[in-house]
Amino acid sequence: MKLIFSPLSPFARKVRVLLHETGQLGDVEMVDVATTPLDTHPDAAAANPLGKIPALVRADGPTLYDSRVITRYLDHRAGGRMYPQARLWDVLTLEATAEGIMEAALSMTYEARFRPEEVQYAPWVDAQWQKASRALAAVNARWMSHLAGPLDMSHIAMGCALGYLDFRHDARGWRVGNEALADWYAAVSERESMAQTAPE
């Protein structure tokens, strides 16, 4: 299998952390591509008609894309412990929350990097940050007991989302008012899988 990815993508990082945690790193060739919304890398376009990463190219079936599809497949392949049936709906909901934070943060990044300064729209950026902020507050208020449990895919997704906020939007100070979540993130960041995949 081949993973078409960028080390800066929080969505791709989710997959890479899962590969670490499930012992599948040796089964997947990493294909690092530089791709943007305005200039899609040929490998990304060939793997996914939408041109988005990550994409998992398989020898025995169609290429998989969307990080949640890829992680479900890889977890199933490894025995299914990252999506435990007993708390599946909680895992999926918290993973979706983390993905929403990533999407809002990535939208902010794109507005600054790929739109000319004279047409950048500050209210749009602020609205995206409000989405992320509401999600962070909800996790801090209602999901800490889940995050305190055994590692599952929602933990990985949330860790990657928070890592992306630090990487691209650290000045926004997401930790203020979310101290419990910040403490949790400090601990989960020490896992080898998180340290090995941190964006630089």
Q: Is 64 helix (H, G, I), strand (E, B) or coil?
A: strand
How much is the pTM?
0.96
Listed by start position, the domains of the chain span 2-77, 85-195
Percent of the chain at pLDDT > 90 equals 97
pLDDT tens profile 118-171: 999 999 999 999 999 999 999 999 999 999 999 999 999 999 999 999 999 999
Judge contact between 13 and 160, C-beta under 8 A.
Answer: yes
- The two domains 2-77 and 85-195 share their CATH topology (first three levels equal): no
CATH 1.20.1050.10 is right for the domain spanning 85-195 = yes
pLDDT tens profile 34-73: 998 899 999 999 999 999 999 999 999 999 999 999 999 9
User: DSSP strand E in the chain: where?
Assistant: 2-5, 29-32, 55-57, 64-65
Helices 10-22, 67-77: axis angle to 10 degrees equals 0
164 phi, psi to nearest 5 deg: -70, -35
Mean pLDDT of the chain: 97
Q: Are strands 55-57 and 64-65 parallel, antiparallel or unpaired?
A: antiparallel
Which CATH number applies to 2-77: 3.30.565.10, 3.30.1330.60, 3.40.30.10, 3.30.1490.20? 3.40.30.10
- The pLDDT score that the predictor gives to residue 19 is 98
